[in-house]
A and B are shown apart, each in its own frame.
Chain A
Amino acid sequence: MSHVNPHVLPHFDPSKGLEIGIYSLGEWLPNPHTGKRIPASQRIQEIVEMAVYAEEAGLDIFQLGESHQKHFLAQAHMTILAAIAQATHRIKLSSGATIISTSDPVRVFEDAATIDLLSKGRMEIVAGRASRVGLFELLGYNLADYEALFEEKFALLLEINENERVTWEGKFRAPLHKAEVLPRPENDTGGLPIWRALGGSMESAAKAGTMGVPIYQAHLGGAAEVYGHRIQLFRDMAEANGYDSKHIPVSTSGFLYAREDTLEAYRAYYPHINESMKLTNGQGFNKRAFAQGQDMRSIINVGDPQLIIDKILYQHELYNHQRYTAQIDFGGVPLDEIKRTIDILGEQIVPEVKKYTARKD
């Protein structure tokens, strides 16, 4: 039995095939090939320039995540997204992810809706719970409430998004009484597409399915097949709760680096990943696991254009997802190299992937 999904779902046109975009976590790290780190102002401006370039290359979406720890500078990610809204005209925009647990859902909606108006209806929200937790202390939250904060605030964000007036009471925020949260996006729903970010948790995938909300799943490494289990659980739970899972989109993301020669791509990108992981995560990226990226079945989309096309198509076979966003700038990749990857994406990879994923029916 299917019932109407109450959430504002992102719209995808199956005849256009898989949506492909890029995302950044706004990290601010030295280029391991030179040991130099660009000034913060330059990095932020280059994030904007990356989005503009992605639009020119015909990519579908640009996403920017919120991170508060050392080595990152997209803490005010909505502010940067507003600048990108002004600098672009067509490309879709999204946060990825907004840490809803430590934010006020009213303010998140106000900011994102404003960006939606600035960008003429191009804004989406991916809401997550943070893999790093320094922001709990920084913003005055108790880490013991990690799960409860996310669930309550995510539910409130959806409620604000789907209702012009909200009456609500919860544990972590003052009650709302017939509150009118403004501005409203200028579309039929008056709301924005809102995705639930998934980390490695099956429980979260199950909850997303139970709620009937779209999911955004980040992939770091390993066999692509493994991540399919979470997506399947999400769809099974959606069906079990009366939603038509075919109409709830799935988006995935992960590392991508394309060069004409596969080994050249690995030589260029591995130091960026490995050295930056040491700084941000305390440990480098296992070289054997990274080298497995040369196998079509690995989730790491690094290699020559044909290998990446084959990988994305294989992943699409496994996941039947609607969108994929690539992280092409992680770890101090200089802007000209970022642009080179975008060129290869736009000229060679995206057209092929879309050709084979576009549905004719």
Chain B
Amino acid sequence: MTGERLRIVRAREWARPERPARREVLSAVPQLEQGRPPLLFVPGFGHGAWAFAEHWLEHAASRGFPAYALSLRGHGGSEPAPAATLRSYTHDVTQVAASLPRRAVLVGHGAGARVVAHALARYPARAAVLVAPVLGDWGTLGAALRRNPGGTLPAVFGGGLRLSRRQLFSRELPDGEARRYVARLGRAGRRAQWQLLTGREPEPAVGRPPVLVLGSPDDRVVPAAALTRAARRYASAPLLFPGMGHDLMLDARWREPIDAILDWLEKDPAPATG
């Protein structure tokens, strides 16, 4: 975007390229090619591509959008990577995005939105969607500590972050399903977890992608104020889905947010001004 500094010299990154990793990519593509941009879903920490394969991938494909979801290294069916950093995750996203046949729309959920924000500085996405974004700051940590001290405190000292069923889902989601999802959660790399708090701010996005922010005012991981802040960063207001938990793609009313995203994309949002 105009006025923001593009970074050309990246000697450190060139000198120490990220190690390749085997990545899981799940997909659902429409039977007829309709010329729509592919969507790449990026799960948040602890989640894998499976979280989108439950409902959103097929639904997007049924509406004509080729849909892909990746598991960041160390998550889901991807290669284990305990030493992964935010940079490793960003690398995974840009690698998969560049491998798609056309310029992709990046959709990041939770801390995956932070990874997407970093990836936008390295890959000119067609558009970006940040779903219940955990962009990371001390305020988010404070809220998490208040709501789920037992699950959050170990993460501060390098342990795994354990999110509770009540944080992730609304009461509408049947108990059995919620339990099944929570049992599938893994954990992110320790360094990546710390970098959510201490890491660098994302650089300006290249390619002027339009950005949509959505979430729930009843999300017990991302406070409503954080949603507004995230949307403001991209000069918009958040799209809200009251009554839903943090995991909008798995919650009982999963269809509403994905339909909103696809409606927005169908309107062919213009690139950011500048």
Q: Indicate, yes or no, whether A interacts with B.
A: no
List chain B positions with a Cβ less than 8 A from chain A.
none
